[in-house]
Amino acid sequence: MGSLLQSPWWGRVKGGGGWTATAIATAEAPSLQVLQRSIGPLQFAYVPYGWEQPDSQSIPPTPETVVAEMHQIVGRLTRRPHLLRWDVPWSTAQFDTTAAARGGLRPAAMRVQPPDTVVLDLSPGEDDLLAAMKAKTRYNIRLASKREVQVERIRASQASSAEREGHLRGWYQVYQQTAQRDRITIHPLEYYRRILDLAADTTVPAPIVDLYRASHDGDDLGGVITASWEGTTTYLYGAGADIKRNYMASYLLQWRAIGDARARGDRQYDFFGIPPAADPNHPMHGLYRFKTGFGGAIVHRPGPWDLPIAPVPAAVFRLAERGRRWYHHDVRKRGGSGE
């Protein structure tokens, strides 16, 4: 099972933000996508969820093996990076941190992808999925239906460019409300436009990308963007309006997306990011309660690890990141309410 972030489509999405994607084959990863960019004078390379195994039963390579292949990658890139970062796709139980450190890897100061998530197995029937949810989640789904919240799906590959643009702009207005309320940083509109437009391009393998919007009596209440790739639907972005929050539109949006994923035969639904624990003092605790309420298995990953190639530039960059982490996690997010 290949990660969405290792898909050619994701490389093209990131290409709009200054990244360059390079496909490299190694002994352990027949098709590995490496992203590169310049950050000031630093040459930075990043492998998102590289060396992911085809299924949960497969034994991943050792950290020492991955480090050896990372050095090979450095030598095959057109621009030699000062630092190569790897977001580990395995669970913490599968990753030997001692062996990783012995091989020269260092934990990154800032996360890139969310290391903690909830993954919902879609093989049970609809009634069984509902039964496995928390009672409050089931109640909120039914409440949204009872209050006649309407959910519309726009598939990127089937909508015209004008339709995509119109729906995206409406969604983005609500997303901006969410960002202000929860004190999160979001991309400019162009980034999300690129996500939809590239998903509509049939010349390159791309996931099925859907934009869902919820409304009631003409009021936009929220929306989500999902991507289905190789058997997994990933919930990428979610927006919730400031009005009519008691209509619980976000719950119905997720339930619709889960149902569509099951209908096309996907094996799992990845909620893509939660706080590391059920801590009521965490600024995103509301997001934790929302996503875990749908059931599923909580997955903890080790997060990103760095291989410094040029010690001094890499050390300066990592020190700067620690400062950024303090600002984003201890200052900006304080007071955020979650979903």
Residue 329: its pLDDT value, please? 57
Question: Could you tell me if 319 and 278 lie in one domain?
Answer: no
Which region among 14-23, 246-255, 327-336 has the lowest average model confidence (pLDDT)?
327-336
pLDDT tens digits for range 96-123? 999 999 999 999 988 999 999 999 999 9
Residue 338: its pLDDT value, please? 38
Q: Is the pLDDT of residue 327 over 90?
A: no
Closest of 259, 255, 213 to residue 238, by C-alpha: 213
Q: Is the pLDDT of residue 248 over 60?
A: yes
Question: Could you tell me if 63 and 210 lie in one domain?
Answer: no
Question: Could you tell me if 36 and 95 lie in one domain?
Answer: yes
Range of the domain at 184: 117-298
- CA–CA distance, 64 with 322 (Å, rounded to integer): 26
Question: Could you tell me if 280 and 156 lie in one domain?
Answer: yes
- CA–CA distance, 251 with 226 (Å, rounded to integer): 15
Q: What is the pTM of this model?
A: 0.92
Q: CB under 8 Å to 245, separation ≥6 — which residues?
A: none
Question: Could you tell me if 294 and 237 lie in one domain?
Answer: yes
Question: Could you tell me if 70 and 30 lie in one domain?
Answer: yes
Question: Could you tell me if 244 and 187 lie in one domain?
Answer: yes
* CB-based burial label for 68 (10 Å; 0-12, 13-18, 19+): middle
Question: Could you tell me if 160 and 263 lie in one domain?
Answer: yes
Q: Is the pLDDT of residue 155 over 80?
A: yes
Cα angle: 199, vertex 203, 209; to 5 degrees: 15
268 located within any domain: yes
pLDDT tens digits for range 120-145? 999 999 999 999 999 999 999 999 99
Give me the chain's average pLDDT, please. Answer: 93
Residue 170: its pLDDT value, please? 97
Residue 339: its pLDDT value, please? 42
337 located within any domain: no
CATH of the domain at 228: 3.40.630.30
pLDDT tens digits for range 232-242? 999 999 999 99
Question: Could you tell me if 284 and 308 lie in one domain?
Answer: no
Establish how many alpha carbons lie within 13 A of residue 304's alpha carbon, considering only the half-sphere containing its beta carbon. 20
Q: CB under 8 Å to 38, separation ≥6 — which residues?
A: 18, 44
338 located within any domain: no
226 located within any domain: yes
Question: Could you tell me if 200 and 248 lie in one domain?
Answer: yes
Q: Is the pLDDT of residue 334 over 50?
A: no
Question: Could you tell me if 166 and 44 lie in one domain?
Answer: no
Q: Is the pLDDT of residue 325 over 70?
A: no
Q: How confident is the model at residue 59 (pLDDT cuts 50, 70, 90)?
A: confident
Q: What single-letter amino acid sits at 74?
A: V
Closest of 320, 294, 290 to residue 306, by C-alpha: 320
Calculate the CA 194 to chain-centre distance.
16
Domain count, the chain: 2
**Long-range contacts (CB closer than 8 Å, 24 or more residues apart) made by 10-16:** 10/48, 11/35, 12/198, 12/204, 13/191, 13/194, 13/195, 13/198, 16/190, 16/191, 16/194
Dihedral sign, CA of 95, 318, 113, 324?
Answer: positive
Query: Furthest-apart CA pair in the chain: how many Å?
Result: 60
- Section 224-235 average pLDDT: 97
252 located within any domain: yes
pLDDT tens digits for range 206-217? 999 999 999 999
187 located within any domain: yes
197 located within any domain: yes
Closest of 16, 37, 21 to residue 83, by C-alpha: 37
157 located within any domain: yes
